[in-house]
C-alpha cells in the first residue's frame, strides 16, 4: 500500500521491473524462479491498489483482486517458493509453514468467497475491511507462513531477508495504524531489491558428471541436490 494512486502506480511499475530482472537472473536456477517472481506479484499488487485509489475505495473488482493477492495467495506462495529455493536439509521443516500457509490461505479464501471486502481512504492510507473470524489466529498463521518460512529456510541470505521483511512490516504497520502515511510500497521496493541481490549472488545449478556418487544439482554451499526437488 502507498499513500496515493500515483505513488502506488509508480512503485508498482518499479517493483515489477525489479521482479522481471530477478526472474531473468534466476533462470540459471529454475527452482529459485517462484521466489524471484515475488516482486512481480508485489508490483502487480501495487498497480491494482492504484485502481482502488482511483475508484475511491469501495467493494469493486479492484478491491477484491487486491485482497486475493494480499491474503490467500501470498499466504501460500511465499512458503512454497521458499521451499523450492531452500537447501535440501531445510525442506522437511519448511513443510510446517507451508501447511500453515495452506490452511490460512484456505480460511482467507473462504472469507473472501462468503464476505464482502471493502476499501476506505483514510487520509494518506487505504484501509481494508473483511470482518474475519478469529483474526488474531489468522494473522499469526499468516506471519508464520510468510516470515517464518524465510527464517526457517536454512539459507543465511533468506534468513536476513526474513528479518528485514519483519522489521519493515512492523514499521509500516505502525505508521498505517496511526493513519499517518502508508509505507508498505517503500518496504516492498526495498525488500525486492534485496531479493534481487540475493538471486544475483546465487551460483548456477550445475549437474555433477555422470558416474559421480550423489549426482544432481549443486547448491550454493557446494552440497549436492540429488534427485528432483519439490519444484522439479
Domain range list for the chain: 5-204
| Reported confidence tier of residue 170, pLDDT bands at 50, 70, 90 | confident
What is the structure's pLDDT at 131?
Answer: 86
Cβ-based neighbours of 45, under 8 Å, separated by 6 or more: 12, 66, 69, 70
The pLDDT assigned to 188 comes to 86
Q: What is the mean pLDDT of residues 90-99?
A: 97
Weakest mean pLDDT among 41-45, 63-67, 130-134: 130-134
Mean pLDDT of the chain: 85
C-alpha–C-alpha distance, residues 178 and 142, integer Å: 22
- Which of 35, 37, 67 minimizes the C-alpha distance to 51? 67
* Among 218, 188, 216, residue whose Cα is nearest residue 202: 218
Residue 213 pLDDT exceeds 60:
no
Q: Which three cell numbers stand for residue 200?
A: 544475483
pLDDT tens-digit profile of 101-146? Answer: 999 999 999 999 999 999 998 877 888 998 888 888 999 999 999 9
- Interval 194-215 mean pLDDT: 68
Mean pLDDT to the nearest integer, 144-168: 94
Please give the pLDDT value at position 184.
73
Q: What was the pLDDT predicted at 177?
A: 55
Segment 145-170 mean pLDDT = 93
Summarize the confidence of residues 20-37 as an average pLDDT.
95
Top pLDDT among 1 and 194 is at 194
Mean pLDDT value across residues 186-208: 82
Task: Answer for the pair 82, 33: CB distance below 8 angstroms, yes or no.
Answer: no
Tell me what pLDDT residue 196 has: 95
Residue 58: pLDDT above 70?
Answer: yes
CA gap 188, 43 in Å, rounded: 9
Q: Identify the band that residue 182 occupies on the pLDDT scale cut at 50, 70 and 90.
A: low
* CA nearest neighbour of 188 among 42, 28, 8, 77: 42
d(CA 147, CA 162): 5
Q: How far apart are CA 103 and CA 141, in angstroms?
A: 8
Query: pLDDT band for position 175 (50/70/90)?
Result: low
What is the pLDDT averaged over residues 206-223? 46
Amino acid at each position: 500500500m502507498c499513500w496515493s494512486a500515483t505513488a502506488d502506480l509508480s512503485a508498482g511499475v518499479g517493483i515489477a521491473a525489479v521482479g522481471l530482472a530477478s526472474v531473468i537472473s534466476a533462470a540459471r536456477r529454475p527452482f529459485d524462479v517462484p521466489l524471484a517472481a515475488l516482486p512481480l506479484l508485489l508490483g502487480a499488487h501495487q498497480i491494482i491498489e492504484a485502481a482502488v485509489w482511483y475508484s475511491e475505495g469501495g467493494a469493486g473488482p479492484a478491491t477484491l483482486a487486491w485482497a486475493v493477492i494480499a491474503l490467500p495467495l501470498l499466504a501460500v506462495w511465499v512458503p512454497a517458493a521458499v521451499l523450492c529455493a531452500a537447501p535440501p536439509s531445510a525442506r522437511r521443516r519448511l513443510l510446517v509453514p507451508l501447511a500453515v500457509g495452506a490452511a490460512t490461505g484456505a480460511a482467507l479464501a473462504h472469507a473472501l468467497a462468503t464476505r464482502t471486502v471493502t476499501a476506505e481512504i483514510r487520509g494518506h492510507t487505504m484501509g481494508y475491511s473483511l470482518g474475519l473470524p478469529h483474526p488474531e489466529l489468522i494473522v499469526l498463521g499468516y506471519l508464520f507462513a510468510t516470515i517464518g518460512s524465510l527464517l526457517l529456510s536454512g539459507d543465511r541470505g533468506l534468513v536476513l531477508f526474513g528479518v528485514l521483511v519483519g522489521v519493515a512490516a512492523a514499521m509500516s504497520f505502525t505508521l498505517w495504524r496511526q493513519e499517518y502515511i502508508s509505507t508498505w510500497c517503500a518496504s516492498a521496493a526495498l525488500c525486492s531489491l534485496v531479493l534481487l541481490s540475493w538471486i544475483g549472488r546465487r551460483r548456477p545449478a550445475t549437474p555433477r558428471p555422470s558416474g559421480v556418487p550423489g549426482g544432481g544439482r549443486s547448491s550454493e554451499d557446494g552440497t549436492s541436490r540429488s534427485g528432483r526437488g519439490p519444484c522439479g
